[in-house]
């Protein structure tokens, strides 16, 4: 379930056509995540609040989930793809029951103590995603690797990764040029993941 109180948050989808093979779109969801971070900081003064990203598609403020990205890719013939980017941002939400949201969360209004104009923010998010995807189309994820590294909350931490119904644990080594996550297990093996869910271990 997706908790969606009336007229409080932003939920939007963008359709982006690409004349590329699916293999060339690796890291696209990460780039969209960075674009949202850029938009947030362009519109809202977050002061000393810590805006970070958690692979593959979560945005956190002070360690609490605040926004997320979902990407669906529809492949067609002749290397043509349709990419649907779904964005969810907690904007003016202040309350939610634990049965509605089963993880720690926050919203922009909670951390700023201000009402946020969703129309202005949505416009900035759309413009930012378009700009970032144009760069991605030309240079791939490698062009954003350092920007991700500056915001990444997982690197050098012990994490667990759930991928293909299998859980792995290890020290996060960051991302490769394709946006795939790397971890080093206790046995010294280096594992690489192209998709999955991550969590920090205490």
pLDDT at 100: 58
Outline where 69-117 has alpha helix (H).
Answer: 108-112
Categorize the per-residue pLDDT at 36 as very low, low, confident or very high, splitting at 50, 70 and 90.
very high
Task: Write the pLDDT tens digit of every residue in 43-94.
Answer: 999 887 899 999 999 999 999 999 999 999 988 767 788 999 999 999 999 8
pLDDT at 79: 73
pLDDT at 135: 95
pLDDT at 99: 54
Task: Write the pLDDT tens digit of every residue in 99-132.
Answer: 556 668 899 999 999 999 999 999 999 999 999 9
Nearest to residue 55, comparing CAs of 41, 36, 69?
A: 69
Does residue 156 carry a pLDDT above 90? yes
Does residue 193 carry a pLDDT above 60? yes
What is the rounded average pLDDT for all residues in the chain? 91
CB 29, CB 141: distance < 8 Å = no
DSSP tag of 105 = B
> How far are the Cα atoms of 22, 159, 162 from residue 170, in angstroms, in the given order?
29, 6, 12
Nearest to residue 182, comparing CAs of 146, 157, 150?
A: 157
Rounded distance between C-alpha atoms, residue 173 and residue 180, angstroms: 10
Task: Write the pLDDT tens digit of every residue in 163-182.
Answer: 999 999 999 999 999 999 99
- Quote helix, strand, coil % in the chain, to nearest 5: 30, 35, 35
pTM equals 0.92
Sheet of 10-18: strand order equals: 10-18, 81-89, 64-75, 58-61, 51-54
Q: Could you give the angle at which helices 118-139 and 28-43 cross, rounded to 10 degrees? A: 140
Q: How many CA atoms lie within 13 A of 157 on its CB side?
A: 14
């Amino acid at each position: 379930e997706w908790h969606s109180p009336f007229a409080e948050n932003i939920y939007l989808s963008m359709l982006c056509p690409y004349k590329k093979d699916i293999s060339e779109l690796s890291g696209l969801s990460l780039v969209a995540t960075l674009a949202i971070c850029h938009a947030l900081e362009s519109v809202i003064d977050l002061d000393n609040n810590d805006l970070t990203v958690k692979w593959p598609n979560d945005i956190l403020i002070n360690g609490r989930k605040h926004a997320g990205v979902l990407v669906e890719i529809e492949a067609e013939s002749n290397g043509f793809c349709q990419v649907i980017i779904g964005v969810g941002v907690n904007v003016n939400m202040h309350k939610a029951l634990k049965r509605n949201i089963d993880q720690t969360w926050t919203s922009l209004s909670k951390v700023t103590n201000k009402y946020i104009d969703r129309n202005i923010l949505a416009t900035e998010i759309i413009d930012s995603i378009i700009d970032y995807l144009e760069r991605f189309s030309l240079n791939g994820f490698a062009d954003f690797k350092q920007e991700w590294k500056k915001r990444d909350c997982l690197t050098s931490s012990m994490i667990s990764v759930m991928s293909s119904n299998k859980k792995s644990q290890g020290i996060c080594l960051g991302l490769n040029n394709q946006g795939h996550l790397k971890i080093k297990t206790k046995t010294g093996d280096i594992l690489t993941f192209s998709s999955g869910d991550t969590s920090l271990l205490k």
